[in-house]
Amino acid sequence: MFGVVPKSIWNKLNPADDNNMCNWAMRCLLIVTGNRRILIDTGIGNKQSEKFFGHYYLNGAESLDLSLNNAGFERSDITDVILTHLHFDHVGGAVAWNEAKNGYIPAFPNATYHVSEQHFKHALAPNPREKASFLPENFVPLQEHNKLNFVRQDEELFQQVFCRFVNGHTVSMLCPEIHINNKVVFYGADLFPSVAHIPVNYVMAYDIEPLNSMEERAYWNKKMAAGNWLLFLEHDNAIECTQVAVNERGVYQSGQKGTLASLL
């Protein structure tokens, strides 16, 4: 998760266990506006094999369904799903087994799924480094059921929800920019997976173009700090949302932290 940063440094940020593993979240965001209920990303899902899940040690009582229920919604209430990218920990919950468990169906039956066309094509024919992260059963059924909508760079997909693409982590990853209550929320996806990844040098080994990731982080850090934006963190296990600040040395870092609701 921290690439070439030495463990002696990053271990202070997210301490590893005896197996050198850290605890991370798979946090999704639900936007309710007018008659739309828009879900951003879907987590890892539950349809993979026991062997697959044995590598990841899922823990905790929270789940996407439970979180939706706590907000007063069911899967059938979701009208739109924005997929930042198609790595299994972001799209696994987008598709479910059918009742007979001999095929796959969209997990949100009444939703349109929005994703970059360039990224979808990349996921169908990935490079060797990313191949294990793109599981066709997580996204091909969406195309087979005619549930896909391909979005464009800088498109205003919904009122005050804009599509911003970055390419360092993977080809054409979508980071929604959301305007609400006279503030801007930037959905960090895997460009900013946690507060520890705000400094530009903390680049994940997963990134296919790490130098590009650094340039993209510097660009968006500058915009977020200048505009007092909020950064929504998908993978930070403890912190949901933060502001971005610049310290006296000109280094970008996390500022005020809290839940999205508390910071809006």
Q: Which CATH number fits domain 7-263: 2.60.40.10, 3.30.870.10, 3.60.15.10, 3.40.50.150?
A: 3.60.15.10
Q: How far apart are CA 94 and CA 92, in angstroms?
A: 6
User: Does the structure show a pLDDT above 90 at 248?
Assistant: no
Question: If pLDDT is split at 50, 70 and 90, which confidence band does 75 have?
Answer: very high
At a CB cut-off of 8 Å and minimum separation 6, what does 175 contact? 84, 164, 165, 166, 186, 187, 188, 189, 191, 220
So what's the pLDDT on residue 203? 95
Distances (CA, A) of 210 to 19, 83, 123, 206: 26, 22, 19, 9
At a CB cut-off of 8 Å and minimum separation 6, what does 193 contact? 1, 24, 204, 233, 234, 235, 236
DSSP single-letter state for residue 196: G
Give me the residue spans of the domains in the chain: 7-263
Question: If pLDDT is split at 50, 70 and 90, which confidence band does 209 have?
Answer: very high
- Least confident stretch, 55-69, 129-143, 146-160: 55-69
User: Does the structure show a pLDDT above 90 at 252?
Assistant: no
Question: If pLDDT is split at 50, 70 and 90, which confidence band does 150 have?
Answer: very high
Question: What is the dihedral angle through the alpha carbons of 58, 59, 60, 66, rounded to the nearest 10 degrees?
Answer: 20
So what's the pLDDT on residue 251? 81
